C-alpha cells in the first residue's frame, strides 16, 4: 500500500487512538496547572476576581458616528435612486437578449 494512502490499518488506527488519549491526558494536566496558577494569582491579587479584561484608561473602541434624520433620509433617497438605476440597467440588458 502506498505511503500516502488514506486508508489506515488496524495498527495505525490504534496508534492514532493512543496518541489522542495521551493528548487528552496532557491537556487535562495542563488545565490543572493553569487552574492552580489562576488560584495563586487570585490569592495574590483578590481585586482581579470577576474582572473580564484590563482597563487601559481609554474608551476601548472607536466612537460611532450618529446620523441625523435628514442624513438618513438623504442616504435612503440616494440608495433608492442607485437601485432604480441598477434595476433599469438589468431590465435593459434582459430586453436586449
What are the φ and ψ backbone dihedral angles of 53, each rounded to 5 degrees?
-160, 175
C-alpha cell recorded at residue 44: 495574590
Q: Are 16 and 22 in contact (CB under 8 A)?
A: no
* SS3 assignment, position 74: helix
From the list 25, 31, 53, the residue with the least C-alpha distance to 39 is 31
Question: Which of these ranges, 21-25, 29-33, 56-60, has the smallest mean pLDDT?
Answer: 56-60
Residue predicted with more confidence, 29 or 13: 29
From the CB of residue 52, how many other CB atoms can be counted at a distance below 10 Å? 5
State the sign of the Cα–Cα–Cα–Cα dihedral 84, 87, 92, 95: negative
High-pLDDT (> 90) share of the chain, %: 51
What are the φ and ψ backbone dihedral angles of 65, each rounded to 5 degrees?
-80, 140
Residue-wise pLDDT for 30-49, tens only, equals 999 999 999 999 999 998 88
pLDDT (average), residues 60-72: 85
Amino acid at each position: 500500500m502506498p505511503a500516502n494512502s488514506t486508508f489506515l490499518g488496524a495498527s495505525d488506527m490504534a496508534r492514532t487512538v493512543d496518541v489522542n488519549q495521551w493528548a487528552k491526558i496532557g491537556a487535562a494536566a495542563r488545565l490543572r496547572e493553569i487552574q492552580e496558577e489562576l488560584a495563586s494569582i487570585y490569592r495574590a491579587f483578590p481585586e482581579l476576581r470577576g474582572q473580564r479584561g484590563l482597563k487601559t484608561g481609554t474608551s476601548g473602541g472607536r466612537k460611532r458616528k450618529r446620523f441625523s434624520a435628514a442624513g438618513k433620509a438623504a442616504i435612503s433617497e440616494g440608495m433608492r435612486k442607485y437601485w432604480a438605476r441598477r434595476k433599469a440597467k438589468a431590465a435593459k440588458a434582459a430586453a436586449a437578449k
